Structure 1
């Protein structure tokens, strides 16, 4: 039997080299990867579900889908104007409403106001104040709803702008109503203007002061807003004591249209607070028909109602040549 040669004896009998196996991921690592991948998809999705939202964006759990994810980018938030989501109705009702009020105000200024020789620059200024303030309110509301998905600080600032818009709208509605209601009582007119302006400044300050956002001062801030809203009733009650009949006050101030405006505000606010109809049909009104959207529509109707009352008051005063004082 022949012996193996020295060359063959020196050769290694080890198996050929094989590539190293990848280390198997633990269950925890796999879960983490899935979680981060889901986060990435949510961050780049146009709309997401309620459960995908960070806690600070979760408000109405009856609205299930159509949410924009947190953008952390003004460009992405503004880009959401180009596709449909559950804030689209809120944004466009007030954005288009703001533009519509500006156009209507310009029309009234250039076409209707000059038709009466007794019309003065003061008429144009007080009615213009209404249109400017209402349009500003709606524009600030549309801005808030557009950037509300940016981040916590930006959403808080947008919410402050929204509240400021309410203050501006209340003041802007009061100025022309007081003007025509106290057309023959200039001292009272100025007194009510100063009163409403002072209350408005206090409420605006409370809106932006960090202290008033704390639980301790929240009741005070709420009281200021309620007080400003109620204070608009005092001039009307006062006017009822100055003129011989409710009809006279109605013709001078557009009282019935002011009452209709108040009804629209209150009814819309009740729907918003009750979260109707989505409370009864969760998921059905995610994109169109939710309570907040209905409230926005009632805000527009309230503005139109007040506007029409002012036009009637203007016509009544100047169709008599401005001679309406007893």
Structure 2
């Protein structure tokens, strides 16, 4: 077979594959011919309505198949699902890349980095599942968003452990050694409880009260978990040349480097931007009804949070490489195993909180049914 024939065959196969790709929307429609159309806000219970979002709601009480297939349907949660679903894929790709140079199973000092990667993937997946399936019923709404809050809490722990293990300076480590991670676990649990309780009291508390109950514990957790990074950023701010830090590095072997600190600054900036859009429904508040599918504030929040996480992973990886002299002296191998155990404990504790709150929700819904 000559070269021209081979080339023509490959072009033909490529053309067939492109034709199949073009038929993908039609194939999805054929796979779900009876999928109901989306509805307006007045056609769903008030509890499910988002401020300034007027259309694109999925009808309640459909079969599970409908909500899974709505992943490929245009509705007001589509972008929320895909932003974190694609973010989870990016974290998996990053994990595969790092596994080529980091001996995760042989080197205990790499376990905190593995916890960060695992917790990052988990919170994005939990978020995607919540936005995809929570619209089925009121109980599903509570249950899946409680799952989302568990995902957020365990990611807070992943952030705390890499910052304390790799990013911390020797002076701050000396101040918080023995209390940093237990306090981080406590704040993770309080954050999960605050978010779950705020959602549970959604029917009876003003919106600003619920926001305070959800944001304040998370803000405290973030401030504590990121304090090692804030210290490094502050010291670089007061000493831009880094000469004072260089002298400290020579004594402690901290191996501080500008590139890691740049990514740390990036993660803080992206987090603050994400927090702004989480607490402010922009731009939909300025253009009510025009952001039903795209450009909702929560979607922007998701995008900035993914960028924050990816910057954090890269910063922690650079600290893992560049500050080994310090963290191997500050943390013994058994300490890494202890922190992995605390991660598992945090997940179990937060799952217990969510399960307890689901029980409260069931009682509330049952009482409503009896009243009817």
Q: TM-score, normalised by structure 1?
A: 0.71
CA contact (8 A) 1:126 1:176 kept: yes
Return the match for 1:225 from 212, 218, 221: 218
The 3 A distance-change label for structure 1 pair 267 and 238 is closer
Matched, 1:49 2:40: yes
Q: Give, in angstroms, the shift of residue 114 of structure 1.
A: 4.7
Q: Counterparts of 2:227 and 2:287 in 1: how far apart (Å)?
A: 41
Partner of 2:188: 200
Partner of 2:50: 59
Count of aligned pairs between the two proteins? 276
For residues 136-215 of structure 1, what are the structure 2 equivalents within 5 Å? 136-182=122-168, 188=176, 190-207=178-195, 213=201, 215=205
Q: Counterparts of 2:159 and 2:200 in 1: how far apart (Å)?
A: 25
Q: Give, in angstroms, the shift of residue 72 of structure 1.
A: 4.5
Q: Counterparts of 1:146 and 1:211 in 2: how far apart (Å)?
A: 17
For residues 1-326 of structure 1, what are the structure 2 equivalents within 5 Å? 45-61=36-52, 63-109=53-99, 111-114=100-103, 121-182=107-168, 188=176, 190-207=178-195, 213=201, 215=205, 222-236=215-229, 244-245=244-245, 251=257, 254-318=260-324
Describe the superposition over 1:219-246 as per-residue Cα deviations: whole angstroms up to 9, x where unpaired: 56654323212212433456678x9429
CA contact (8 A) 1:264 1:299 kept: yes
Q: Tell me, what secondary structure is at the counterpart of 2:57?
A: coil
CA contact (8 A) 1:212 1:221 kept: no
The 3 A distance-change label for structure 1 pair 304 and 236 is closer
Q: TM-score, normalised by structure 2?
A: 0.63
Q: Give, in angstroms, the shift of residue 209 of structure 1.
A: 6.4
Q: Tell me, what secondary structure is at the counterpart of 2:303?
A: helix
Q: Which moved more, 1:292-301 or 1:251-260?
A: 251-260
Q: Give, in angstroms, the shift of residue 308 of structure 1.
A: 1.4
Q: Counterparts of 2:79 and 2:262 in 1: how far apart (Å)?
A: 29
More helix per residue: 2
CA contact (8 A) 1:90 1:142 kept: yes
Q: Counterparts of 1:291 and 1:221 in 2: how far apart (Å)?
A: 17
CA contact (8 A) 1:181 1:252 kept: no
* RMSD (CA atoms): 3.6
Q: Counterparts of 1:289 and 1:210 in 2: how far apart (Å)?
A: 25
Describe the superposition over 1:243-262 as per-residue Cα deviations: whole angstroms up to 9, x where unpaired: 94299685399344233222
Q: Tell me, what secondary structure is at the counterpart of 1:284?
A: coil
CA contact (8 A) 1:137 1:162 kept: yes
Q: Counterparts of 2:58 and 2:327 in 1: how far apart (Å)?
A: 54
Tell me which of the two structures has the higher relative contact order, counting C-alpha pairs closer than 8 angstroms and 6 or more residues apart. Answer: 2
Q: Tell me, what secondary structure is at the counterpart of 1:148?
A: helix
Partner of 2:349: none
Q: Tell me, what secondary structure is at the counterpart of 1:86?
A: coil
Q: Counterparts of 2:124 and 2:136 in 1: how far apart (Å)?
A: 20
Q: Counterparts of 1:210 and 1:144 in 2: how far apart (Å)?
A: 16
Q: Give, in angstroms, the shift of residue 129 of structure 1.
A: 0.4
Q: Tell me, what secondary structure is at the counterpart of 2:136?
A: coil
Describe the superposition over 1:78-130 as per-residue Cα deviations: whole angstroms up to 9, x where unpaired: 12113222211110111121122123213212x12259xxx961232111000
The 3 A distance-change label for structure 1 pair 290 and 209 is closer
Contiguous gaps of at least 5 residues in structure 2: 1-33, 236-241, 331-372
